[in-house]
Structure 1
Amino acid sequence: MANLPKSILAKDTPALLSSVARERRARLLNSVCLALALLWVVLVGFTLAPEPDDFQTYWRGAWSVAQYGDPYALIHGRQQPNMYIYPPLFAYLMLPLGAVSLRAGQIIWFGLNVLLLAGLIVVCIRASHSVLARRYWGVLALLVAVAPPTRLSLQLGQVSILMALVMLGSFLLAKRRAYLSGLLLALSCLIKVFPAALGLYFVLRRRVALLWAGAAGIAI
Structure 2
Amino acid sequence: MTANPIRVMIVDDHPMLRDGVVGSITRQSDMIVVAEAGDGAAAIAAIEAAKPDVVLMDLQMPGIDGVEAIQTISRDHPQVRILVLTTYVGDAKALRALKAGANGYLLKSAMRTDLIDAIRAVHGGGRHIPPEVATQIAVHAIGDALTEREIEILSLVAAGNPNKRIAWRLGVSEDTVKAHLKRIFAKLGVADRTHAVTVAAKRGIIEL
Shorter-normalised TM range: under 0.3
Structure number with the higher helix fraction is 1
Structure number with the higher strand fraction is 2
TM-score (norm 2): 0.28
Larger Rg: 1
**Structure with the greater relative contact order (CA < 8 A, sep ≥ 6): 1 or 2?**
1
